[in-house]
Amino acid sequence: MITKKEHIEQLFEMIAEFVPVECTLFMIGGGALMTRALKNYTKDVDLVTKDDASYIMVDNALKEAGFKPTIPGDEYSRLELSNIYVKDEFRVDLFSTRVCHKLSLSDGMVQRADFYGQFGRIRLMICSLEDILLFKSITEREGDYEDCKNICRSSIDWDAVLDESVSQSKDEHEVWITYICGCLMRLSEDGYHIPILDSIKRMNDAFMKNWIEKLENYRD
């Protein structure tokens, strides 16, 4: 359990000792919300790399720093994680460029991210609340829905959430839109104003229609 921002900084100082070249990491989970004063603690630190080479380098650095890879449990089934890294009170979830199929670290997400600090050769960026909401909407981990509620209590740019969803669906609708739709519908039912809900529902309906058509064609 991480209860102070200083603990997050200690984590990156520890990892940075074993990072041989410049590397930019993007923090997207509870740790990111802690830096934005929207959460008092986090069980894990979620990190996304911009490419596979950075992923491999950070994977090696974590292992050299004494972190032990563990197999993700069922609550991580949507996340495409290869490993969770654990050492003492620290737990790191590492993603390479994308979370849950094609919900990726896009150019827009990179531009919206804020610089947090330089730790050795690690440049740490904090993803925007809008993008953290998207990432957390597609998970099934305990506490992520509560984080989504906390984000909705803040002033966020809903147009950015919608634009990012549309941008990532240009080539082909993916199943992640159903997760986002389900989360936003639940938030609406719990009394939160979700101005983009109708648009997200239409995207969800389009995906479901396309999926049913493909299934029927396969059966034929």
Map out the domains of the chain with their CATH numbers.
5-219 (3.30.460.40)
Q: How confident is the model at residue 103 (pLDDT cuts 50, 70, 90)?
A: confident
Least confident of 70-84, 114-128, 150-164: 70-84
What angle is formed at CA 171 by the lines to CA 170 and CA 175, rounded to 5 degrees? 85
Lowest mean pLDDT among 8-22, 139-153, 191-205: 139-153
How much is the pLDDT for 170? 72
Residue 155 pLDDT more than 60? yes
Q: Which two three-digit tokens encode residue 129?
A: 């609340």
**pTM, entire model:** 0.89
Say if CB 168 and CB 102 are below 8 A apart: yes
Q: Do β-strands 45-49 and 122-126 pair in parallel, antiparallel, or remain unpaired?
A: unpaired
Residue 39's SS3 state is coil
Q: Write the pLDDT tens digit of every residue in 104-141.
A: 899 999 999 999 999 999 999 999 999 999 999 988 77
